[in-house]
Structure 1
């Protein structure tokens, strides 16, 4: 059985201020680094096989903090990069109309993310994988796999959502867990 723990990167100043980042390469703030450390400590108590991350610094740095704690190399997969928001970058998260219209078309974003997920299924059957990525990526994965808008809510920084694939169907073990922070 393939198990994937979806991890949203730690906090950035842009997250703290409610500003759209998209593919802008922002850095973790001090709180984000502490969140990643707490996440690493929690995850080090379980057995994992590998870490995959988005190429953006905030996700890569979160993944590296976790990897240093559990002695893994980090594999970068571009498919799990955040949605490109074009002219919406730098605007408030509350500007939903601009988010929906700007940048990467949602259908292409979804296709990219699900392509990455399929690549993991093909390449890493029966592995336990930590996937460090972004809130929109996690939402696309969960709302698509489970055909539900139940997961189309804010995904918290440094939260964990665990899914499993038994070669026939996906199950979700938990969503948006932050009790270890």
Structure 2
């Protein structure tokens, strides 16, 4: 028997640092008014599905986005999951493009930052834990662009581009109990259906 758990992976709404193209990472920057509007706009595409509950990163920009969405969809208060926190970029946080940021860069990352592999593993573990605890559920997960992108890339073993603020990314986690295997299927990326080959 195979159990399918469905996730709506939503990146939080815009912050002032997003607008200024500054690296946020684990720095707790709140939503701005545009971000609150984006969270409200995310409700319509989500309302086409039936959702059981909502969870989020504990960072305020994700938590507020989840609370705004959850309230409008009539869901209980979002549970905060530390594993969904954005990648820690270390000394690169707060910087925008320029010499200071470039001095920290090396192929595949930044000096003092959490590795892409660690971020992906943390994100996938959080999703697998949810699927194990709530098999067959339909769960909205509000997190962060890099965490969502790296987690999807790892799960699907393919390149995933940037994740836009408050867009719907619909993914299914299939768990076959007979041989304890899992498979992931991505149906929507940034609100757009994927074409199957």
Q: 1:66 is matched with which residue?
A: 69
Asked whether the 8 Å contact 1:20–1:93 carries over to 2, the reply is no
Structure possessing the higher radius of gyration over alpha carbons: 2
Which residue does the alignment assign to 1:137?
Answer: 147
Q: How many residues align?
A: 176
Structure 1 runs of 4+ with >3 Å offset: 93-96
Which secondary structure state, in structure 2, belongs to the residue aligned with residue 129 of structure 1?
strand
Give the RMSD, CA atoms, in angstroms.
Answer: 1.7
Q: Using the alignment, how far apart are the partners of 2:158 and 2:82 within structure 1?
A: 25
Which has more strand, going by share of residues?
A: 2
* Higher fraction of helix: 1
Q: 1:119 to 1:93 in 2, by over 3 A?
A: farther
The aligned residue for residue 179 of structure 2 is none
Alpha-carbon distance between aligned partners in 2 of 1:57 and 1:90, rounded to the nearest angstrom: 16
Q: Does 1:123 align with 2:123?
A: no
Unaligned runs of 5+ in 1: none
| Whole-Å separation in 2 of the counterparts to 1:141 and 1:107 | 9
Q: Report the Cα distance in structure 1 between the residues aligned to 2:112 and 2:148, rounded to whole angstroms.
A: 20
Distance 1:11 1:126 in 2: 31
Q: 1:35 to 1:67 in 2, by over 3 A?
A: same
Q: TM-score, normalised by structure 1?
A: 0.90
Find the counterpart in structure 2 of residue 37 from structure 1: 40
Question: 2:184: which partner in 1?
Answer: 170
